[in-house]
Chains A and B, each alone.
Chain A
């Protein structure tokens, strides 16, 4: 990291985020790439002239606003790492709204700068409060650390039934405990240093092996019926070509993503944000690569039907590549990663058509991840609130969670835990100042 040491970390963070934000906004303006998977299909409609710009702006804004406020910002506040949604969902809308390329670059850059400065200010404000809430806020993500390796078991449960899910859960649990014990009793030494095998990594690996085995067996069984499947790649070959033509600007984006990830200033999901903030880079790498399986079907389909690619790549392996290498190499590795996606697009689509169970596994991983995060962050939010305000923290969190469900989930369920924890932190300070506690 030596070349970067001349710049202090804060300035570097500002520079990289501003550049990333400006570039992403330009890509959205030119209809080359957007981050939001829901905007991509309608952007295809816009490119082909079937949708007016005003309508595209209105829908993009409606789709992104709730996610930035309710998902991106809360998760970026509880650590120094910015959740990428905060930046790229905003630049989607800014780019689409901007009248031209220059405006998109300028407003996009300003937005990124504003996000870094704004988050910084809020965190400083939090630090000045009479009752400390930063320690509590950092607890919100704690349950993620212990529970993420249950993901394959949940995916198996969704795809192949709860009994097989339970079997996978028990097997991964035993692997986890066994490795923990082995690390203690028979540590593997290489020379002087002790090599610790991550119990989470082992649980995750065992779970994935079981998931893949079930998926392959099911694919073989169903193979006879899938002879006359439609070829998605052939259906949308013009769009694949459009994405390929935009290769160069996309490579720059890939490079910027991996650079940011390598500097540990952005994370692709609440999970890697949590791991990076605790310097657990290995775990962040694992989750970033695992997420790819879940997002291949989504990004490939939305990309092919629209001719617009994803500014973050297929989430989140470009981040994973960044975590793996030093910031000096990260831009190149990220650009190569992006090239692999674009050149491999047709092959990925064919693969998904040929092995429908693989596509299903992807869908189920996303469902499992969403459900797991909802539970883990509710528990995290409750324990954080309890730490900040033992007399009423859980009262507020549990109450708001259920009320949100009764109201038909106006707030993203996954974000209710973290948001209510922030609210409890503010409340306890108001009560303190008012002399009520």
Chain B
């Protein structure tokens, strides 16, 4: 069972619904405020953090960067830079925990992330 927590600041419910749809019985998903979500990762109560905002790095990852450190976080999409499956695979393999993306890229980013994460587990 992969435990995913949705933090960040935009489209939270949509991301959670998408995670549930793509992961089915293999995932457990929760929506929290960004700081609380990052704390849960730090405490080991969740495995991965997804966050979304207009830039893929601000509201998406602010709490996660502060609490987990930038080494565990990555923006997988930015305005004008679409998510890339190879980079996401690599980030998941490297053990990154928190992923940020823009509200333009919710569907593609969550799709790729779920594929990588489910494969990895």
Contacts and interface: CB of A to CB of B under 8 A. Distances in A.
Interface of A: 36-42, 44-45, 50-51, 59, 62-63, 65-67, 69-71, 229-230, 232, 235-236, 297-298, 301-302, 305-306, 356, 359, 362-363, 366-367, 370, 407-413
Given A63-B57, A356-B33, A297 B78 contact: no
Contact of A42 (B33, B35, B53, B57): B57
Contacts of B36: 229-230
A45 B61 CA distance: 12
Size band of the B side of the interface? 35 or more
Nearest to A305: B66
A297 B62 CA distance: 11
B80 A51 contact: no
A63 B78 contact: yes
A412 B79 contact: yes
14 contacts: A36-B55, A37-B55, A37-B57, A38-B53, A39-B58, A50-B70, A51-B70, A230-B39, A301-B63, A302-B62, A305-B62, A362-B9, A409-B105, A413-B104
Contacts of B66: 41, 44, 236, 305-306
B62 A50 contact: no
B104 A66 contact: no
B33 A39 contact: no
B55 A38 contact: yes
Interface string B4-16: 0000011110000
Given A408-B82, A412-B104, A45 B35 contact: no
A40 B53 CA distance: 14
Contact of A301 (B54, B55, B62, B80): B62
Contacts of A69: 80
Nearest to B8: A363
Contacts of A36: 55, 58
B65 interface: yes
A408 B83 contact: yes
Contacts of B79: 63, 66-67, 70-71, 412
A229 B33 CA distance: 10
The 4 closest A-B pairs by CB, nearest first: A66-B80, A37-B58, A38-B57, A305-B66
Contact of B65 (A42, A66, A71, A407): A42
A13 B100 CA distance: 37
Contacts of B60: 38
Interface string B68-80: 0111000100111
A62 B83 CA distance: 13
Nearest to B64: A41
Contacts of A45: 65, 69-70
A147 B58 CA distance: 27
Most buried by B among A297, A366, A407: A366
Contacts of A65: 80
